[in-house]
Amino acid sequence: MSSRVAITRLIPEPGPTMLAHQTVELVANSEDRSLDRAELRGLVGGCDAVLCLLTDSIDADILDAAADCKIFANMAVGYNNIDVAAATKRGIMVTNTPGVLTECTADLAMALILGVARRVAEGDVEMRAGRFPGWGPLYMLGGDVTGKTLGLVGPGRIAAAVAKRAKGFDMPLLYHGRRPSPDMEALGAKAVDLDTLLRESDFVSLHVPLSKETHHLIDAAALAKMKPTSYLINTARGPVVDEKALVAVLKAGAIAGAGIDVYEDEPAMAPGLADCTNALLLPHLGSATLGTRSAMSRIAAENIVAVLEGRRPPNLLNPEVWQGNS
Ligand code: GLV
């Protein structure tokens, strides 16, 4: 098959080998860094397919540079980095990698819940600094997790996987989504509006995709509705939270803390966030296990192979393009 396929960054196997078997020419950025705009334009030019990452901004300009391209396969479940409408207009398919990172991301959300409430990272810092004064009845008290109410914003797969874990901690479950979720209901979660969820939850965990509707969904007004003893957990996308407003409430002690894996302007953080000892901060590790990243690599490659073989890709996000072609 005489296809030219690009991979925008060094990724784990098996995707690269799968694509190397399918193509005459595999052009891959072999470095573990994002390409700049000019490099990205250059790489995608003349390609039939591109495997890209959430750190690549695929806008109209990049799509125009990839005039012959049939598919951009994003190696991520989120695809806010791709202008899907612009791709659809140009007849380019867009795919993502849902499902395979659900459990791994839910594990990390649970780690943030436990870690921020029980001050795990803070305790580690104290030990390493030699500041442990010995056990004390008032030393480093945190918040309870078991039996506390968990509010899940967004009723998708990852939220349901977090709910499943939280049930092991006897946590009453609330959820908020645009429609009822049978998965959530089966776990005993109660559907509520966002205000109720914010007011009643001890942990508010975000699981919505980033879109115009969810940008700054958790703003100063939303944060003000949370209990002073509650925690915000974000493993979704940074811009879902107004990060400056979050810093203000953390500094004021208006909520108990936050467990954050994603940021508004990655890799930067809002000024002051790093000084908030009541925030547990991780560098976007939701899907960061070798097993999960390998599965994502395989699925992204499978989507490309399907298109190169004239089949509909399994994770197509803009089916109108396929219907237009078939
Ligand atoms: C990770 O953040 C993803 O969307 O896959």
What's residue 302's pLDDT?
97
Give the Cβ contact number of residue 88 at 10 Å: 17
Overall fold of domain 102-281: Rossmann fold (3.40.50)
Question: Which residues sit opposite 52 in a β-bridge?
Answer: 74
Which residue's alpha carbon is nearest to atom 1 within ligand 1?
76
Per-residue model confidence as pLDDT tens digits over 229-277: 999 999 999 999 999 999 999 999 999 999 999 999 999 999 999 999 9
In terms of C-beta density within 10 A (0-12 exposed, 13-18 middle, 19 or more buried), how is residue 172 classed? Answer: middle
| pLDDT bucket at 22, cuts 50 / 70 / 90 | confident
Find the 234 Cα to ligand 1 centroid distance in Å: 12
Ligand 1 centroid, distance to 99 Cα (angstroms) = 11
| Structure tokens given for 77 | 């479940």
Mean pLDDT for 49-77 is 97
CATH of domain 3-98+290-325: 3.40.50.720
Tell which one of 75, 82, 105, 292 to mutate to probe ligand 1, the residue whose CB is within 8 A of the most ligand atoms: 105
Listing DSSP states for 29-69 in one string gives --SSS---HHHHHHHHTT-SEEEE-TTS-B-HHHHHHTTT-
Q: What is the per-residue pLDDT for 116?
A: 98
Residue 1 has pLDDT above 60, yes or no: no
Cα(44) to ligand 1 centroid in Å equals 22
Using the atom order of ligand 1, give the atom closest to the CA of residue 75: 5
77 lines ligand 1 (CB under 6 A): yes
pLDDT value of position 142:
98
Q: Catalytic residues, which ones?
A: 237, 266, 284
The residue extents of the domains of the chain are 3-98+290-325, 102-281
Of how many residues is the chain composed?
326
Domains 3-98+290-325 and 102-281 belong to one CATH topology? yes
Residue 37 pLDDT exceeds 90: yes
Percent of the chain residues topping a pLDDT of 70: 99
Task: Give yes or no for residue 212 having a pLDDT over 70.
Answer: yes
> Are 27 and 5 a contacting pair, CB within 8 Å?
yes
Question: How far is residue 271 CA from its own chain's centroid?
Answer: 22
